[in-house]
Amino acid sequence: MKPNFFADFSALFQGIEIAKEKGVGRLWIECDSIAIIEAIKGRKIPWKFSQKWLILRTYLDDMLWKITHIFREVNNVVDLLAKKAVYSRLTNFWDSPPDYVRTAITWDLIEYKRF
């Protein structure tokens, strides 16, 4: 398994676990990895993640959820969050968006084209 694929699956599962801890009842996952989306939708989870997937799947089966593709080039909010994490070397969790991504979120909401 390639390191990026492993990292993407780890991040996906961590995000689902956080949603579960926070009691999220509806979930829309946006992912820039078509391979991850195909693995999830096709139920072809790598063996290394199969046990964790079975546990998380029971949570997801009790709610409305979907996973869709988003191009990395237009996923500006995630890009800003990732850059901040790299430079600060900290892991943060927020109950509301941090100030430095609010403009990008607003642009997404009004479908402002950045490319």
Q: Which domain, by its residues, includes 40?
A: 1-70
39 and 56 within one domain = yes
Based on the domain organization, do 55 and 19 belong to the same domain? Answer: yes
Closest-CA residue to 40 (of 75, 71, 77, 15): 15
62 in the same domain as 20? yes
The helix (H) or strand (E) run that includes residue 87 is: helix 76-88
Q: What is the separation, in whole angstroms, between the first and last Cα of the chain? A: 32
Provide the strand spans (E) within the chain: 26-31, 64-69
Sorted by sequence, the CB contacts under 8 Å of residue 39 that are 6+ apart come out as 9, 45, 46
Is the pLDDT at 114 greater than 70? The verdict is: no
Specify the number of domains making up the chain: 2
Instruction: Assign 23 to helix, strand or coil.
Output: coil
pLDDT digits (tens, 9 = 90+) for 42-67: 988 888 889 999 999 999 999 999 99
Q: Give 63-109 pLDDT, tens digit per residue.
A: 999 999 988 777 777 777 777 777 777 777 777 888 888 888 787 77
Q: Taking every pair of C-alpha atoms in the chain, what is the biggest distance, in angstroms? A: 41
46 and 82 together in one domain: no
